[in-house]
Structure 1
Amino acid sequence: MRTGMLALAAGLLCLRALPQLPPLGWLPLLALAGLVLLAFRRYAVALFLLGFSWACLQAHWALADRLAPELDGQTLWLEGQVVGLPENGGAVQRFLLEEVTSRRAVLPRRMRLAWYAGPVVSSGERWRLAVKLKSPSGLLNPHGFDREAWLLAQRIGATGTIKDGQRLAAAAGSWRDGIRQRMLQVDARGQSATLVALVLGDGSGLSTETWQLLQDTGTVHLLVISGQHIGLFAALVYALVAGAARYGLWPRRLPWVPWACALAFAAALGYGLLAGFGIPVQRACAMIGLVLLWRLRYRHLGVGWPLLLALDLVLVVEPLASLRPGFWLSFAAVTVLIFCFAGRLGAWSPWQTWTRAQWTIALGLVPLLLALGLPISLSGPWVNLVAVPWISLAVLPLALLGTLALPLPWIGESLLWLAGGLLEILFQGLDLVATQLPAWLPDTLPPWAWGLGSLGILLLLLPAGVPLRPLGWPLAALVVLSPPSRVPEGHAEVWQLDVGQGLAILVRTRHHSLLYDAGPRFGEFDLGQRVVLPSLRKLGVRQLDLMLLSHADADHAGGALAIRDGLPVSRVISGDARGLPKRLRAGDCSSGERWQWDGVSFELWQWPAAQDSNQRSCVLQVEARGERLLLTGDIDTRAEQAFLESLLAVGTDWLQAPHHGSRSSSSMSFLQRLAPRAVLISRGRGNSFGHPHPQVMARYQALGMAVHDSAEQGAVRLLLGAFGGAQSQREQRRFWR
């Protein structure tokens, strides 16, 4: 039976690795083959085929419920009901709309919409909205967050921006939203949003700084409802019933064991519904239910059975759950604990058990965190020794009791105020730790180093005295000491990162790194912090020798401060230094300045007669072994004509499209003189500027240039000096792209 359950899980999990789904017509045949094999008691193969066909069928249905390509970018009136908890992020609200209908087109059943400066939207309301529709997509960078997979896992078939709308019906049954609004009105020492995250699992009110603090200290799991919270609450209810029975306070006519199990499971389900019933909550409720069922029957339950059954149940209910990082982290954490604590000989003191639980989870999750490209907290094992009991035994009970007591005057508010005070003390301590020891985002490891490092960590998790266990230390050290990949001498590795409507290009030689523009920032949405900085770290950049900001526009220089704060930067220069924040201490672009790094030549140019920031863009030419790249910023046709009079106006292999392919740039004379064989376009999908302009694209095509567009291909990499082609992130096939 255990083998069959493992086979079922394997079939369901295969979906995550598929580059392409099998044809829909094959799936009934696979399922039929599985049923036939099941009749012949070939359970392992049968359950694998059934799980695989079920997961693929669900993926086909989810993909079929996506926005039709011809509707991408169109604005339609539609109707639907708001579900879940709307995210109120200052000037913008984001929420899910279900049961979507329109008179003009067939639309996906579920959408994620954004409303800028709109009225307050509540869960359960029905709205008629004018929405500019977008196909589900996202930025795609090396080892970065895959938004398309995240949207598909939630079966979101379209996104969009609301232009206008009217409420058709008031909220019906939005009890979670009502509780949230009531909690946010309570004076909780500035921690109301944190308490909402802890009780309701809604972290939309937490600031970017708070998330970064939790990430640095490895305490995100404390404010994202997890199995720990659910299990603690169920155990508390069970213990109360057991204690009452022991001291004669439980009615004798009621058998206490069935009642304790039933009430504990009801408590787990109730807390799970309050928290939104996410994947970690589903896993926890399934495991708690199985443990209580075996307890009720007075049978010993092997520690692996509840986890395996929970895994199969979660995946059968929602096979697309495997596309979400939280699914893997949730089950991996419990697996590590079971592996390290089950069947060990000898008694451990409570302190030994507690400390070993922390370091085993921290160590055991390292391979998975590396594979998912997530940061690793160096302080987490020590911080959690205090933070976990602080939250679990003090803050959480007060927060839950305070939430339940909100209808009672003063009582609920007082309990939440006290819980907020305890959270404030905890966050002050976390801030001190994070300042001294932030999270570590390691370089991307080669597969051999990741494999050997994971083997080493597995050896270290084995019991003491197991042969070969000491070899775990040198193998695990490969995670930290693995030699970074080096750019060949005389070559330059170039990455055009996918930053939407903006620009950020990394140029690396063997021992030096240069960043040309830093990505956009619009209000609190800083792509320099969210995309560029993590991408640089994952690519092995630990410092920048030069950050060259072509000019001061927010889509080119908006992320510069976040990068300057997150990485050592030796020098900053710009074509419009006066328009940049003084903290950057940017120098002026010196036209004609030249230098060499590791056999690669660099030279700057700027139009001295420029009249605006775009025209003042600092242009950079990079040459490696005779192959040239020209980075142009946002120069227009007048600046281009001036450039043609310079010594840099020579044959160029790679051209960064001036001004994102704007109509006011990429003149025919400019393109004919440079005669690039390929052009790099960095722009946002469906941007309001219409970049790149059709006339500009027609010029590129007429001259036979290959076009590499970040909106269509994600981040693009090329090796200057090798005279080869470019590789894009979308070339790494996944069935959802």
Structure 2
Amino acid sequence: MRIWMLAFAAGLVLPRFLPMLPGIWACVVFAMVGVLMLMCRRTVALGLFLLGLSWACYQGQNAVDDRLPASMDGRTFWIEGRVVGLPGAVGDVVRFELVDIESRHVGLPSKVRLSWYGGPQLRAGERWRLAARLKRPRGLVNPQSFDYEAWLLARGIGATGSVKAGGRLSASAATDGWRDRLRARLMDVPAFDRQGAIAALVVGDDSGLSRSDWQVLQDTGTVHLMVISGQHIGMLAGLLYGLVALLARLGIWPRQWPWLPWACGLALAGALFYGCLAGFDVPVRRACFMVAVVLLWRLRFRHLGVWQPLLFALNGVLLIDPLVTLQPGFWLSFGAVAVLALVFAGRLGRWVWWKTLLRAQWAATLGLLPLLLALGLPVSASSPLANLIAVPWVSLTVPFALLGTALLPLGGVGEAILWLVGGSLALLFELLSFIAAWRPAWLAVGLPSWALLMIGMGALLLLMPTGIPPRALGLMLLLPLVFPPVTAVPEGRAQVWLLDVGQGLSVLVRTREHALLYDAGPRQGDFDTGERVVFPSLRSLGVARLDKLLLSHADNDHSGGAQAIQRLMPVAKIISGEPQRHAADLPAEPCESGLAWQWNDVRFSLWQWQAARDSNQTSCVLLIEANGERVLLTGDIDEAAEQALVRSRQDVQAQWLLLPHHGSRSSSSESFLRAVGPTAALISRSLHNAFGHPHPSVSARLLALDINAYDTALHGAIRIDLGDFSAAEVMRTQRRFWREK
């Protein structure tokens, strides 16, 4: 039975790792062959595998086909639809999802995610008519960053966009949007400014948690505790079951009602209701399935163990939504339960409660380490200590949060309870902040598959019972963590990465022993590209410190992420084209025209126009030469600065040219392109940007001069092995079935 369930789950999971999906007809063939194999007992496992594979591929292809057609990309449409989920507001930006979409245009997706700058308050269940500019799902592609396209596909979102205008057609019905109304009520309760945390625990809405709150939770490895998780579901079910059992034992439970069916029924009802509050995310689905299976077997007086319910839950979650494998939470949720089952199931003797807590935290930290590394997520060294405090704390807090919520209609009673809950959560965050400051989370170097496999085997061996002979080898298998296998840049060569930071710029230059970052990307509201994109990419590439952070000038799209980079990793020196415009906590030296240096036989030289009249013209230009091959990084200089650069004594000829000012019309003049004579041009910009970069006239010049264009909006991050005179490598060629070409 277990082999059959594992085979079915393997088929449902496999598409996650495929570069492309088979066609619908291939899925039909797989399903037919799978059904035939079910008729022979020896091939049942293979038949279930094929059935799972066909179902997952079919669902994945449907989701891919439901995306906005390429012909409609970037266009504005009038659409009507119903608001679903929990609309959230960050600053003056309202973000929400729309379904049941109607429009006179054919081919629009069934679900879109929209942003409305300065928009009104929206409620779930309302129906709106909106003028929205829609875009195909597309995210930044870098050595290490959040896979936004996978996240959108997993949620069934076929387009993103921004609202230009709109009006409400109808209000929310009484049966619609009840979670939204409950969240709004919770956010109005005075609770030591921790209303957002209460809403996260009660309805699973994390929009009320600040960026600093998320940083603390990430640094301490306690993110799973602050939004409804499987642990909360199981705890509530156990509490209801135990309450009925206790009343029955004390003789208080009515005798005409058999206590066991009532205990199981109430426990399951409580778990499902709590799941409804949370919106049935992955951990919640898994927990509800496990609770249902365990209670069913308990009702029939059969001992089931832990692996059978886990496999039932795994198959149930995957069967309902195979695309859930695109979410990190799926792997971490089931991985955590599997690790705890491995550590505690079947062990002889009784555990003292404090030993159980210690062992659970140690095992979860070690067991989830390979998954965190494979997913590129931060690893928290303080997680065992933080969870040792936070797990029982939150477990005791949740029942009171639910009780206070249930008693809100009674006026002051419910609010008083939630006020105490808020005080408890405020104190918990203070403790977690102290732990986070002591030992923040860290991002590991990007590891190859063989190193991840070694670490996984090492963790598995260390989790084995004491006395297993090869258990000590587990420590040796963890050596790639201490000595990560980083590919060194050859002497006399440079590795240049043009990172995909949207409408901005960030270029990493590595030599054998040194690293330089040219610009740090933009910061837009609560989204800091330096923190979310540039820093993770640097760590993935093995950069632990920067010898120089060179900011071409002080505009946000070039220097917005600089403070985050300085905060997150050591920076020996900061140079800027406009040092006077940076904040006081970002001390920068001025760009000195003519300054040159060598790192590992790679030559660097700077230039700046001394007669510059505006910010763009002051951009600090960097020329890099390795083994006779050159790349020219130009910041945002315009045509006047280009001509000044050509007239200077600087030798501007280069094989690679970063187009000035993202390819704007005021830059990249024909005379400048001829003077540089590049064989390839680099363009850093976002797709459908408001500035129209690159300008059609610039693209026409590149075509006329036979200059190849590498564009981050089309190609993702771009890697150049300077000194090898080879073609650039682009990250969008690494195929994923959900990734836009």
User: Same fold by TM-score, threshold 0.5 exceeded?
Assistant: yes
The residue that corresponds to 2:360 in the other structure is 357
Structure 2 residue aligned with 1:148: 149
Contact 1:89 1:205 in 2 (8 A): no
CA distance in 1, matches of 2:208, 2:493: 46
1:38 aligns with 2:38: yes
Aligned to 2:508: 506
Is 1:708 matched up with 2:704? no
SS of structure 1 residue aligned to 2:268: helix
Structure 1: distance between partners of 2:519 and 2:653: 24
Alpha-carbon distance between aligned partners in 2 of 1:328 and 1:439, rounded to the nearest angstrom: 19
CA distance in 1 between counterparts of 2:533 and 2:144 reads 11
Distance in 2 separating the partners of 1:268 and 1:668: 68
Counterparts of 2:452 and 2:53, CA distance in 1: 27
For residue 40 of structure 1, report the CA deviation from its aligned partner: 2.6
Q: Secondary structure at the match of 1:494?
A: strand
Segments of structure 2 that go 5 or more residues without pairing to the other structure are none
Give the match's secondary structure for 1:348.
coil
**Correspondence 1:330 to 2:333:** yes
Question: How far is 1:597 from its partner?
Answer: 0.7
Task: Determine helix, strand or coil for the equivalent of 1:25.
Answer: helix
Counterpart pick for 1:387 among 382, 390, 396: 390
Amino acid at match of 1:185: D
- Map of 2:533 onto structure 1: 531
What is the deviation of 1:483?
4.1
- Residue type of the alignment partner of 2:240: V
CA distance in 2, matches of 1:79, 1:243: 53
1:183-202 pair list within 5 angstroms = 183-202=186-205
The 2-side partners of 1:514 and 1:4 are apart by 53
**8 Å CA contact retained: 1:512, 1:544:** yes
Q: Is the 8 A contact 1:76 1:133 kept in 2?
A: yes
- 1:159 is matched with 160
- Quick one: which amino acid aligns to residue 716 of structure 1? I
Letter of the aligned partner of 1:88 in structure 2? Answer: A
Match of 2:78 in 1: 77
Matched-pair contact (CA < 8 Å) for 1:126–1:169: yes
Structure 2 counterparts to residues 310-329 of structure 1, below 5 A? 310-329=313-332
CA distances 1:550-598 after superposition (whole Å, capped 9, x unpaired): 0111100111111111111111111111221122111110000000011
Aligned Cα RMSD in Å?
1.0
Deviation readout 1:148-167 (Å, 9 max, x if unpaired): 01100111000010000000
The counterpart of 1:570, out of the listed 569, 572, 575, is 572
Looking at structure 2, the residues matched to 115 and 409 of structure 1 have their Cα atoms a distance apart, in angstroms, of 34
Contact 1:501 1:555 in 2 (8 A): yes
Per-residue CA shift, 1:526-556, capped at 9, x if unaligned? 2112111222122221111111100111100
CA-to-aligned-CA distance 1:173-215 (integer Å, 9 cap, x gap): 2110111101111111010011111111110121111101000
TM-score by length of 1: 0.99
Q: Could you say which residue in structure 1 is the equivalent of 2:16?
A: 16
Q: Assess if the C-alpha contact under 8 Å between 1:82 and 1:123 holds in 2.
A: yes
1:346 offset after TM fit, Å? 2.9
Q: Indicate the residue corresponding to 2:251 in structure 1.
A: 248
Q: Identify the match of residue 678 of structure 2 among 660, 676, 679.
A: 676
- Secondary structure in structure 2 of the residue aligned to 1:629: strand
Do the aligned residues in 2 keep the contact of 1:33 with 1:49 (CA within 8 Å)? yes
2:377 matches 1:374? yes
The answer to whether the 8 A contact 2:609-2:617 is kept is yes
Moved more, 8-17 or 575-584: 575-584
Mean Cα displacement is larger for which, 557-566 or 369-378?
A: 557-566
Write the mapping of 1:600-679 to structure 2, written as runs, cut at 5 A: 600-679=602-681
**How many residues align structurally?**
736
Match of 2:522 in 1: 520
In the alignment, is the contact (CA less than 8 A) between 1:649 and 1:673 conserved in 2?
no
Q: Could you report, residue by residue, the CA deviation over 1:440-473 in whole angstroms, capped at 9, with x for unpaired residues?
A: 1111113222221221111101100001111111
Q: Which residue of 2 aligns with 1:541?
A: 543
Query: Would the alpha carbon gap of residues 650 and 614 (structure 1) be closer, same or farther in structure 2, given more than 3 Å must change?
Result: closer
Q: CA deviation at 1:724?
A: 1.1
Post-superposition shift, 1:397? 1.5
Alignment equivalent of 2:414, drawn from 412, 415, 438: 412
Q: Secondary structure at the match of 2:84?
A: strand
Question: Is 1:235 matched with 2:243?
Answer: no
Greater shift in the superposed pair: 541-550 or 372-381: 541-550
Contact 1:186 1:416 in 2 (8 A): yes
How big is each residue's C-alpha offset from its partner over 1:592-647, in whole Å with a ceiling of 9 and x where there is no partner?
Answer: 00000111100000111110000010000001111101000000111111111123
Cα shift at 1:701: 1.6
Q: Give 2:348's match in structure 1, choosing from 342, 345, 350.
A: 345
Partner of 1:27: 27
Query: Are the equivalent residues in 2 in contact too, given 1:110–1:157 (CA < 8 A)?
Result: yes
Q: Offset at 1:288?
A: 0.3
- Residue number in structure 1 paired with 2:118: 117
For residue 285 of structure 1, give the secondary structure of its aligned residue in structure 2: helix
Overall identity of the aligned pairs, in %: 58
Give the residue type in structure 2 aligned to 1:687: N
- CA–CA distance in structure 2, aligned partners of residues 143 and 605 of structure 1: 31
Post-superposition Cα deviations, 1:352-389, rounded to whole Å, max 9, x if no partner, equal: 11110111000000000000000000000011111110
For the 8 Å contact 2:86–2:96, the answer to whether it is kept is yes
Gaps of 5+ in 1: none
* In structure 2, C-alpha distance between the alignment counterparts of 1:71 and 1:37, rounded to whole Å: 44
Q: Secondary structure at the match of 2:447?
A: coil
How far residue 217 of structure 1 moved from its aligned partner, in angstroms, is: 0.6
